[in-house]
Amino acid sequence: MPITQKSLSIFDFEGLFPNEDSCVSHLFNSRFGQNYACPKCDKEGPWYLNKYKRFACSRCGCQISGRSGTVFSYSNHPLRTWFRAMLVFTHTRTGISNAFIARHFGFSHETSWRLANKIRSHMAWHCGTPIFGGAGEHVEIDETLIRGIRRGGKGSCRAIIFGISDRKRVSTMIVPKRNRATLEPIIRARIRPGTIINSDGWRAYDHLSEIGFEHIKCNHKIGQWVSEEGAHTRHLDTYWTTLKRSIRGIHLHVSMDHLEKYIKECEFRHTFRKKPADMFWDLISKHPPPLPFSGKRYRKG
């Protein structure tokens, strides 16, 4: 498939994926490829698309569905609908509401909610858990509060989000507390020793220089946004604004159970902000590795 740095338009999409077969073929070829060794007869391809929208080995007839083990498995929606929904997701800057998906595709609210949340989970998988920094590299850390998060009929609460950024990409997570005991193990696990860590003056970060990092603080309380050494947390501060705009402006009410998906959706969009075309192609082409072959036919997809 041609990959350009320009975001794919709906007309480009219609040209590249005119029917369901083209989508099924793309999924199979991006996950397995025509040279995939058949798990039953051990011979390499070729594979042909049969009437059940599965690929079958041309020698022994063993069938493989490209959907198995992906976000598309156990879904009755055509693959083309999934691809179109993913395209719509990649065309916005601050996120997309479930109500918009319902209107756009003519789905019920429940269906659009399920579909959108599956896509958000898939985006979360793409975000992964990157390790940041290295000797002499600058990494920003910061935490923020998001208020008004629902707690399943028990009123609202605030969520604490901790973020790490190397100014190219961001990784965020929900943390129960923002004290030293909570944040330091995360910092140790996600940032390489010797990294120059930029943070604000929050007291939980006071001991970072004792555990193998070079630590530079900006004291925001006295209006210092750039330290004398030139360190700052401007990248994460800007990111928090985008995240909160997405949650308050688009989703309005988010429950604690699903907050992580919305946070990861924003993170995914931020990671690919300079490569908008890759956003769509990665979503439809990169999936978890195929499951071991069970010897039985795949039930769905």
Q: Which residue ranges make up the site for Zn ion (CB under 5 A)?
A: 38, 40-41, 57, 59-60, 62
| Closer residue to Zn ion (CB): 62 or 204 | 62
Q: How far is the CB of 25 from Zn ion (least distance, A)?
A: 18
User: Before 78, cis peptide (omega within 30)?
Assistant: no
Q: Among residues 74 and 293, whose Cβ is nearest to Zn ion?
A: 293
Measured CA to CA, the distance from residue 178 to residue 159 in angstroms comes to: 10
When the beta carbons of 37 and 157 are compared against Zn ion, the nearer one is 37
Q: In angstroms, what is the minimal distance from the CB of 79 to Zn ion?
A: 23
Residue among 38 and 119 whose Cβ is closer to Zn ion? 38
∠ CA(201), CA(207), CA(213), 5° rounding?
95
* CA separation for the pair 163, 175 (Å, rounded): 10
Nearest distance in Å: CB 291, Zn ion:
17
When the beta carbons of 56 and 175 are compared against Zn ion, the nearer one is: 56
Q: Where are the beta strands (DSSP E) in 102-242?
A: 138-150, 156-165, 170-175, 196-200, 214-218
| Cα 23–Cα 95–Cα 175 angle in degrees, nearest 5 | 110
The answer to whether the CB of 175 falls within 8 A of the CB of 161 is: yes
**Closest CB to Zn ion among 59 and 244?**
59
Select 40 or 180, whichever has its Cβ closest to Zn ion. 40
CB of residue 63 to Zn ion, shortest distance in Å = 10
Tokens of 189: 């696990």
The residues with which 224 forms a beta bridge, in sequence order, are: none
CA–CA separation, 104 and 191 (whole Å): 42
Cβ atoms 109, 97 nearer than 8 A:
no
- Exposure of 285 by Cβ count < 10 A (0-12 exposed, 13-18 middle, 19+ buried)? middle
Using DSSP bridges, classify how beta strands 196-200 and 214-218 pair: parallel, antiparallel or unpaired: parallel
Least gap, CB of 61 to Zn ion (angstroms): 7
What minimum distance in Å lies between the beta carbon of 42 and Zn ion? Answer: 7
Instruction: Tell me how far, at minimum, the Cβ of 44 lies from Zn ion, in Å.
Output: 9
